[in-house]
Chain A
């Protein structure tokens, strides 16, 4: 948890001060490299990429679609949260990628006198699991406020590798 907290502070600094991460800080947002249309941080964690003219990467665009199919009926539009479930645009920034994956895959319960909050396990749902990284990077882009509410306008094309992986995942 200490590691997560450190990362969290690192991210805040980046977001609030809009400064590039220094070598000592762990930057969980900035794309360090891309591979077949997907973008990753220095730590190989999936992330978004927004070009200067506003063009978003395919995964972020795809995440917008999948989020509004699978998640928004509980979590509200565009990761903003609702009267029913928390704002995921914050969770995607606050949580470590691997914790995020864990909660989506296995679910989580907060049931007590004051709240009845239950996140289901989506581990066996291909409509979620095959697009987990898409949803994650979209929410991170929302949380970092680099993608506005609404449907992203300009987007990169879908790479052959992404298409092949998607088909393999859905059929598997």
Chain B
């Protein structure tokens, strides 16, 4: 402890008076040879200016080199590349490797934190980790046990550590962090354990906590200003984080923050979404359960909320709102707007004005979505911005101990965290999706700290009356709210996409294929089967004048849990049971980085 304190003090003393690391991070992002954030850039576009690999030659792609991570679990996220160094992370125990790209990938340093394995079973749905971030000569790791660690990027030495949560009450982490200004923005997981979600900013140089904003609770906890924080243009009023809850339920209210974060430097706003209210039994938490299931825009330096939009008031299906917020500048009705696009688990894609929080588009991005007939887009209406819920698929309406059948999408959403990409060339979003429906039966559960707090039985199956597969990879026009093209996939697409200036879009599949498709048409241009299923995100970098594409393989996560044995449709009758593909027939556990390049 003493040593840590000394290090912290030293770091604080060495730091220049006002460091604005995001400027230096932006400069690093602007160097297209590198990949310094998990999201590619602050806008979460996952777009690269590199065009050496293009739609004409991508068919010639070859494996250039590989690296085994030594861990056999779900591998989410991607490596980073900063200068001559690649940083590769693993699932629990969250090892970080620094590899020397100038010396055939030699391991420069390896950091392996010591974590109590009792955190493993508290992590709902596998011990994934969505990777490290780089800023100011430091690598930032947010471990499974919620310890945030700053490592010296050169040496791997620990510069500071901060404990963000308490795993003994179910608080864990799977997300990456976002370095902004002189701060690190971090989230938390544990919605299935009754954790009250929060976002916390730590000082990048000292590790000291700067602010924390809870998803629900009194205004002092949520950092919501009753008069100046708006919801669809109107002030939210006092105690908005408690007055749509019954009693003290908000204290174990969920709304965790385990997704992706984006940042607009001009507005100095950080954007993210909050997860499901707990429990999954809606009857146990009457009210809208604000601010679960909400898109948040917060000031990066103070945490104060500028605007909010609750997508799914009073969730009845576990449609977490944590998916990425993609920031773009596009023309809408002849006017250039600063947009935010979000593909929600609930099956609706939202396009908003990210400065004002105005809702511009809310459309289904999978035609199978049936729990709602759509969002009320009339600003004069009392239900403005609310989705109209179809009674047949309302687990609240049907009640406790009743099995509501045929709800689309399933709890894992039309899309989960696997991030979409945006190409400014085509002005299209490329979206990995699930095409899975469910039966959902809520029932009463009691809360015990550190124990699962779920309260519903689920059965999932491929969307009926469709192509029989469990996924699609789609191109989406976010200003018109339309699907441009859709590629059916046998399994859910659980890999983050990458778009490049070469007119190519890359994504991975659960069978383990890395695929390259034409950004205009969706035509398949290349595929290669890696050693294990892909739930990681495709990245690209350039070294020595050569462009590379990297992807982590290692099946797992929700996909590996739900699909390993295949799905069955309980409503199909006995004859059809077992008729759907089992992931275990295609792939097994793994942990490998595969890097592709064109032949010399």
Q: Does B437 count as interface, using CB distance less than 8 angstroms?
A: no
Known contacts A122-B451, A126-B446, A149-B577: A83-B564 contact under CB 8 Å: yes
Query: How far is it, in angstroms, between the C-alpha of A151 and the C-alpha of B441 when the chains are bound?
Result: 11
The answer to whether A150 touches B459, judged by C-beta atoms less than 8 angstroms apart, is yes
Identify whether the interface residues of B are mostly helix, strand, loop, or mixed: loop
The answer to whether A80 touches B452, judged by C-beta atoms less than 8 angstroms apart, is no
CB nearest neighbor in B for A109: B117
The answer to whether B126 touches A69, judged by C-beta atoms less than 8 angstroms apart, is no
Indicate which residue in A68, A111, A126 contacts B459 across the interface (CB closer than 8 Å).
A68
The answer to whether A124 touches B451, judged by C-beta atoms less than 8 angstroms apart, is yes
- A122: shortest Cβ distance to chain B, in Å? 7
Note all chain A residues with C-beta closer than 8 A to B127.
116
Chain A window 110-124, contacts with chain B (Cβ cutoff 8 Å), 1 for yes, 0 for no? 010011111110101
CB nearest neighbor in A for B569: A150
Query: How far is it, in angstroms, between the C-alpha of A125 and the C-alpha of B455 when the chains are bound?
Result: 13
Query: How far is it, in angstroms, between the C-alpha of A126 and the C-alpha of B451 when the chains are bound?
Result: 10
Note all chain B residues with C-beta closer than 8 A to A32.
none
Note all chain A residues with C-beta closer than 8 A to B117.
109, 111, 116, 118
Q: Does A157 count as interface, using CB distance less than 8 angstroms?
A: no
Query: How far is it, in angstroms, between the C-alpha of A107 and the C-alpha of B450 when the chains are bound?
Result: 14
Q: Does B6 count as interface, using CB distance less than 8 angstroms?
A: no
CB nearest neighbor in A for B403: A151
Known contacts A73-B125, A83-B555, A151-B570: A118-B451 contact under CB 8 Å: no
Chain B window 437-455, contacts with chain A (Cβ cutoff 8 Å), 1 for yes, 0 for no? 0010101011010011111
Indicate which residue in A82, A114, A150 contacts B560 across the interface (CB closer than 8 Å).
A82
Note all chain A residues with C-beta closer than 8 A to B555.
83
The answer to whether A76 touches B564, judged by C-beta atoms less than 8 angstroms apart, is yes
Indicate which residue in B120, B125, B446, B456 contacts A116 across the interface (CB closer than 8 Å).
B120
Indicate which residue in B121, B439, B445 contacts A118 across the interface (CB closer than 8 Å).
B121
Q: Does A10 count as interface, using CB distance less than 8 angstroms?
A: no
The answer to whether B121 touches A119, judged by C-beta atoms less than 8 angstroms apart, is yes
Within residues 120 to 154 of chain A, which ones have a CB less than 8 A from any CB in chain B? 120, 122, 124-128, 148-151
The answer to whether B561 touches A127, judged by C-beta atoms less than 8 angstroms apart, is no
Indicate which residue in A80, A114, A151 contacts B565 across the interface (CB closer than 8 Å).
A80
Give the A interface residue count (CB, 8 A): 41
- A53: shortest Cβ distance to chain B, in Å? 13
Chain B window 562-600, contacts with chain A (Cβ cutoff 8 Å), 1 for yes, 0 for no? 101111111000100110000110000100000000000
The answer to whether A127 touches B446, judged by C-beta atoms less than 8 angstroms apart, is yes
Indicate which residue in A70, A114, A127, A150 contacts B568 across the interface (CB closer than 8 Å).
A150
Q: Does A37 count as interface, using CB distance less than 8 angstroms?
A: no
The answer to whether A127 touches B122, judged by C-beta atoms less than 8 angstroms apart, is no
Note all chain B residues with C-beta closer than 8 A to A118.
117-118, 120-121
Chain B window 91-126, contacts with chain A (Cβ cutoff 8 Å), 1 for yes, 0 for no? 011000000000000000000000001101110111
Q: Does B199 count as interface, using CB distance less than 8 angstroms?
A: no
The answer to whether B564 touches A81, judged by C-beta atoms less than 8 angstroms apart, is yes
Note all chain B residues with C-beta closer than 8 A to A33.
none
Q: Does B192 count as interface, using CB distance less than 8 angstroms?
A: yes
Q: Does B77 count as interface, using CB distance less than 8 angstroms?
A: no
Q: Does B462 count as interface, using CB distance less than 8 angstroms?
A: no
Note all chain A residues with C-beta closer than 8 A to B568.
77-78, 149-150
Indicate which residue in B445, B561, B584 contacts A73 across the interface (CB closer than 8 Å).
B561
Indicate which residue in A64, A84, A117 contacts B556 across the interface (CB closer than 8 Å).
A84
CB nearest neighbor in A for B280: A69
Known contacts A76-B562, A83-B126, A151-B459: A65-B441 contact under CB 8 Å: yes
Q: Does B457 count as interface, using CB distance less than 8 angstroms?
A: yes
Q: Does B72 count as interface, using CB distance less than 8 angstroms?
A: yes
Q: Does A103 count as interface, using CB distance less than 8 angstroms?
A: no
Indicate which residue in B125, B452, B456, B574 contacts A84 across the interface (CB closer than 8 Å).
B125
Q: Does A170 count as interface, using CB distance less than 8 angstroms?
A: yes
- B128: shortest Cβ distance to chain A, in Å? 10
Give the interface size class of chain B: 35 or more
- B50: shortest Cβ distance to chain A, in Å? 33
Within residues 73 to 91 of chain A, which ones have a CB less than 8 A from any CB in chain B? 73-78, 80-85, 87
CB nearest neighbor in B for A126: B446
- A71: shortest Cβ distance to chain B, in Å? 9
Residue from A68, A84, A149 whose CB has the most chain B CB atoms within 10 Å:
A84
Chain A window 85-113, contacts with chain B (Cβ cutoff 8 Å), 1 for yes, 0 for no? 10100000000000000000001010100
The answer to whether A125 touches B459, judged by C-beta atoms less than 8 angstroms apart, is no
Note all chain A residues with C-beta closer than 8 A to B126.
83-84
CB nearest neighbor in A for B576: A150
Query: How far is it, in angstroms, between the C-alpha of A87 and the C-alpha of B458 when the chains are bound?
Result: 18
Residue from B122, B192, B439, B446 whose CB has the most chain A CB atoms within 10 Å:
B446
Query: How far is it, in angstroms, between the C-alpha of A35 and the C-alpha of B560 when the chains are bound?
Result: 40
Q: Does B73 count as interface, using CB distance less than 8 angstroms?
A: yes
Indicate which residue in A70, A116, A127 contacts B73 across the interface (CB closer than 8 Å).
A116
Note all chain B residues with C-beta closer than 8 A to A124.
448, 451
The answer to whether B556 touches A70, judged by C-beta atoms less than 8 angstroms apart, is no
Query: How far is it, in angstroms, between the C-alpha of A150 and the C-alpha of B454 when the chains are bound?
Result: 20
Query: How far is it, in angstroms, between the C-alpha of A56 and the C-alpha of B454 when the chains are bound?
Result: 25
The answer to whether A82 touches B565, judged by C-beta atoms less than 8 angstroms apart, is yes
Note all chain A residues with C-beta closer than 8 A to B574.
148
The answer to whether B125 touches A74, judged by C-beta atoms less than 8 angstroms apart, is yes
Note all chain A residues with C-beta closer than 8 A to B192.
73
Note all chain B residues with C-beta closer than 8 A to A127.
445-446, 448, 451-455
CB nearest neighbor in B for A79: B565
Note all chain A residues with C-beta closer than 8 A to B443.
65, 69
Q: Can you list 11 residue pairs at the A/B interface with Cβ under 8 Å?
A: A68-B459, A69-B454, A73-B452, A77-B562, A77-B565, A77-B567, A82-B562, A83-B564, A115-B72, A125-B451, A127-B445
Beyond A65-B443, A84-B561, A127-B451: 8 further Cβ-contacts under 8 Å?
Answer: A70-B454, A73-B125, A77-B567, A81-B564, A83-B74, A87-B565, A149-B577, A151-B439
Please give me the 10 A-B residue pairs with the lowest Cβ-Cβ distance, nearest first: A83-B560, A80-B565, A150-B570, A120-B121, A82-B561, A125-B451, A118-B120, A68-B457, A151-B570, A149-B568
Interface positions of B (Cβ within 8 A of A): 72-74, 92-93, 117-118, 120-122, 124-127, 192, 403, 439, 441, 443, 445-446, 448, 451-460, 555-556, 560-562, 564-570, 574, 577-578, 583-584, 589
